[in-house]
Structure 1
Amino acid sequence: MSTPRPNPVLTQPVLAALPYLALLGGMVSLSVGTSFAKQLFPVVGAEGTSTLRVGLSALVLVCIWRPWRFRLSRDDAGRVLMYGLVLGLMNLTFYLSLRTIPLGPAIAIEFAGPLTLALVHSRRWIHFVWIACAVTGLGLLLPLRGGLHALDPVGVAFAAAAGLFWALYIIFGKRLSHMHAGQSVALGMSTAAMVILPFGVISAGPALLAPSVLLLGLGVALVSSALPYSLEMIALRHIPKRTFGVLLSAEPAIGAIAGLFLLHEQLGSLQWLAIGCIVVASIGAILTTDTRGVPTLGPGAPA
């Protein structure tokens, strides 16, 4: 009995869609993992949660990539140190922001960092349209008004700091582009873990070592780091850089939806409008900026 051959008419579209499904899966996994991470806050705090997420992610990455197999020059060690420093501070400040503001707005405010980096060398009039769109969105999110859905100023400040560190992460990450990707990520995440560890120990202490906390922390690390990194690396191999950035710009909206369903974080109409403005500004900036000037909004995002 002959084995039926796959229908090429059906197979080709499915294969073409796989990278895009992988990217969507990575963004959803990141937001879901962050939503579960926020549930650890009452037990070990934001600092302890960030320590578990980054520390356990580092252990997983080191076991997978075994970075000691590759040579590391003194100059590259310095670059890794800076890369890991900003990566750690990016994760820590983002998780600190989630103590007092919802997930969707936090990601949207954080997106201002790489968006500013993409537009910093603006030369075309259309870029100023995206700047105005982003400023409008941020203006709607910032705690300039009172009311039921006004955001906490401290949380907004931490999210803005995370955006700054995200922009620096992109800059320092590009300086490691000549290194093996697995080595740079494993060493960078390990450095980030050492940066965050003192904050987690001071905040949570022995609670970090409770078996139930470690198990949940490992789940958060896998769902919010290991899985998204893997899926987005698959997507990056097959999706053009510009298209990748455009699709990734939907992350604030996905984060807001995850926060709504998993954390019951209700947003006001102005906050949804603000998130929409920032998503549109990010998409527009990527579509109208020279490819060489488009930052990689990749899986280093801390959500």
Structure 2
Amino acid sequence: MLKFKSNIALPPPTALVLISIASTQLGSAIAKPIIQELGATTTVLLRVGLGAIALLLLQRPQLKGYTRKDYLLLVMFGLGMAAMNLSFYAAIARIPIGIAVTLEFVGPLAVACANSRQLLDLLWIFLAGVGIFLLAPIQGSRLDPLGVAYALLAAFFWGSYILLSARVGKVFAEISGVALMSAALTAGTLGLLPISILSGGLTRLEPRFLAIGLAVAILSSVIPYTFELEALKKLPVRIFGVLMSLEPAIAALLGFIILQEQLELQSIIAIALVTLASVGASAFEKRRLK
């Protein structure tokens, strides 16, 4: 596992989370032009596959002694992660990154509200619902309906990823997070490979794509996983959730700066509403998560 030497001054945990978010969305912004040339499947394959190799170099997972059911759970986790990334990349090929991330955030928000019985959660559901309605491809909206559908599919897989990660964490409690992630990414790579071959994306690979794919893998996989694990050692889960809720806004900002993605006022309001709902759901989550 990636270890930080004690003589190296790390940023505070809140900064690590924010760097992780910015790194993830920077990786998405860099990946978007490649999607137009290679397709979403092959681009995700580069991210997941090269990310798996990088994490395996950091730490190889020791997975002996588990049952077939346990291994199947880990494979499902990896395939679900691959499906989540594939749906998201298919979405950002058609709609702005900020909007795609906002719609994708419906997944973790739904899981957070479903696991709580607080009356206040109705407010967060309402705010998120209004935001989604504003982003719906109706009433003359210029958003690609298929892109919106892919983003909502990514939301479903993100919600499933959260539920599966909790189960995987319990079953493989003695395995480090980085080692587990490397195994999951390997499973996802094997699942994506035949789809990429059939789509013909691998035939268009060039050295420059491999270089950019490695950058995307480091930015969107290696840095976020290691930084978030380090931050969670000192940061309450509730605060971590609040910080992660800023992701739609950061994604929209980076999409504007790097890709010049212009957003209508209606979309900006929608992003603000979903972000507020996510912050609220995390900030007021039951104290048991402290």
**TM-score, normalization by structure 2:** 0.90
Query: Structure 2 residue aligned with 1:153, among 145, 149, 171?
Result: 145
Q: Following TM superposition, by how much is the alpha carbon of 1:183 offset from its aligned partner in structure 2, in angstroms? A: 3.0
Q: CA RMSD in A?
A: 1.8
Q: Following TM superposition, by how much is the alpha carbon of 1:238 offset from its aligned partner in structure 2, in angstroms? A: 1.1
CA contact (8 A) 2:178 2:226 kept: no
Q: Aligned pair count?
A: 277
Is the counterpart of residue 55 in structure 1 residue 52 in structure 2?
Answer: no
Q: Following TM superposition, by how much is the alpha carbon of 1:291 offset from its aligned partner in structure 2, in angstroms? A: 5.0
Structure-2 separation of matches of 1:79 and 1:246: 29
Q: Structure 2: which amino acid aligns with 1:267?
A: L
Range that drifts further, 72-81 or 270-279: 72-81
CA contact (8 A) 1:110 1:162 kept: yes
Q: Following TM superposition, by how much is the alpha carbon of 1:58 offset from its aligned partner in structure 2, in angstroms? A: 1.0
Structure-2 separation of matches of 1:152 and 1:250: 24
Give CA-to-partner distance per residue, 1:225-269, whole Å, 9 cap, x none: 111111111111111100000011000000000100111100011
Aligned to 1:107: 101
Is the counterpart of residue 205 in structure 1 residue 197 in structure 2?
Answer: no
What is the aligned-residue identity percentage? 37
Instruction: Name structure 1 gaps, 5 residues minimum.
Output: 1-14, 295-303
CA contact (8 A) 1:70 1:183 kept: no
Query: Structure 2 residue aligned with 1:136, among 130, 143, 149?
Result: 130
- Go from structure 1 to structure 2 and tell me whether the alpha carbon gap of 1:133 and 1:293 turns closer, same or farther (over 3 Å shift): farther
Range that drifts further, 60-69 or 35-44: 60-69
Structure-2 separation of matches of 1:168 and 1:99: 23
**TM-score, normalization by structure 1:** 0.87
CA contact (8 A) 2:178 2:225 kept: no
Query: Structure 2 residue aligned with 1:20, among 11, 14, 21?
Result: 14
Is the counterpart of residue 286 in structure 1 residue 282 in structure 2?
Answer: yes
Q: Following TM superposition, by how much is the alpha carbon of 1:219 offset from its aligned partner in structure 2, in angstroms? A: 1.0
Aligned to 1:263: 259
Structure-1 separation of matches of 2:115 and 2:24: 30
Is the counterpart of residue 39 in structure 1 residue 36 in structure 2?
Answer: no
Q: Structure 1: which amino acid aligns with 2:282?
A: I
- Select the structure of larger CA radius of gyration: 1
Q: Following TM superposition, by how much is the alpha carbon of 1:160 offset from its aligned partner in structure 2, in angstroms? A: 0.4
Give CA-to-partner distance per residue, 1:169-205, whole Å, 9 cap, x none: 1111111113212332111111111122222223313
Structure-2 separation of matches of 1:153 and 1:238: 41
Query: Structure 2 residue aligned with 1:275, among 271, 275, 279?
Result: 271
Is the counterpart of residue 184 in structure 1 residue 180 in structure 2?
Answer: yes
Secondary structure of 1:39's aligned partner: helix
CA contact (8 A) 1:84 1:189 kept: yes
Q: Following TM superposition, by how much is the alpha carbon of 1:65 offset from its aligned partner in structure 2, in angstroms? A: 1.6
Q: Following TM superposition, by how much is the alpha carbon of 1:39 offset from its aligned partner in structure 2, in angstroms? A: 1.7
CA contact (8 A) 2:238 2:289 kept: no
Range that drifts further, 90-99 or 41-50: 41-50
- Go from structure 1 to structure 2 and tell me whether the alpha carbon gap of 1:293 and 1:156 turns closer, same or farther (over 3 Å shift): farther
- Go from structure 1 to structure 2 and tell me whether the alpha carbon gap of 1:79 and 1:37 turns closer, same or farther (over 3 Å shift): same
Instruction: Name structure 2 gaps, 5 residues minimum.
Output: 1-8
Structure-2 separation of matches of 1:199 and 1:45: 11
